[in-house]
Chains A and B, each alone.
Chain A
Amino acid sequence: EAGVTQFPSHSVIEKGQTVTLRCDPISGHDNLYWYRRVMGKEIKFLLHFVKESKQDESGMPNNRFLAERTGGTYSTLKVQPAELEDSGVYFCASSTSTDTQYFGPGTRLTVL
């Protein structure tokens, strides 16, 4: 069974540009989560989808971040316009229930 996949693995953009990250959860997992780790700090929750609905988006830092999960399958996280402080590793995770979350390899975003 394929695990959680994320694309791209790395992205380097300039301040002010737009970047879209993609996450494909494990097939059949209704729950999809986005987390972010800024260098030197802890991994922080961004938002949680149950199927296509946003269950909790309390961790989204501001309105420059937009997450979607059309059709309840893959999800995208768009940052527009990107700022320097958005640099970090963005993780996606999925689960079937409220227990174990399985994480993807992450997307390392560098904003110059």
Chain B
Amino acid sequence: SQQGEEDPQALSIQEGENATMNCSYKTSINNLQWYRQNSGRGLVHLILIRSNEREKHSGRLRVTLDTSKKSSSLLITASRAADTASYFCATDRGGYSTLTFGKGTMLLVSP
């Protein structure tokens, strides 16, 4: 599997429900970031969590990081139709290292 691999690949829920996406990676990291891409648009940065952090919140987003399991999760609470997008996790190894992305999770939120 690739560094920064998300699951599930696709997720379909109803408005108001919570959505959880997971990301696993293989090598040690400095930071892990989550991005969102709406159809045909660019990547929007959602949240960054550092390797020494375990949990972070931003609005309806909650990110956890377990470096012992090399995994992270993104929880979107009270989802809205506007949350429909592809979500990617990306890792870096510090310094000038670049981002390594997974294939993403496609989230569909139905009204």
Contacts and interface: CB of A to CB of B under 8 A. Distances in A.
18 contacts: A33-B98, A42-B2, A42-B101, A42-B103, A43-B88, A44-B101, A48-B96, A93-B43, A98-B30, A98-B92, A98-B96, A99-B48, A100-B48, A103-B42, A103-B43, A103-B44, A104-B42, A106-B43
Interface of A: 4, 6, 33, 35, 40-45, 48, 50, 55-56, 59, 91, 93, 98-106
A44 B102 CA distance: 9
Given A104-B42, A105-B42, A99 B2 contact: no
A101 to B, nearest CB: 6
B33 interface: yes
Interface in B56-111: 88, 90, 92, 94-104
Interface in B8-48: 30-31, 33, 35, 41-45, 48
B102 A42 contact: yes
Given A43-B88, A106-B43, 13 more contacts: A6-B42, A33-B98, A42-B2, A45-B98, A48-B98, A59-B98, A93-B43, A93-B99, A98-B96, A98-B97, A99-B48, A102-B45, A103-B42
Contact of B96 (A6, A55, A105): A55
Contacts of B90: 43
A59 B100 CA distance: 11
B38 to A, nearest CB: 10
Nearest to B88: A43
B42 A91 contact: yes
Nearest to A47: B98
Nearest to B35: A103
A26 B96 CA distance: 18
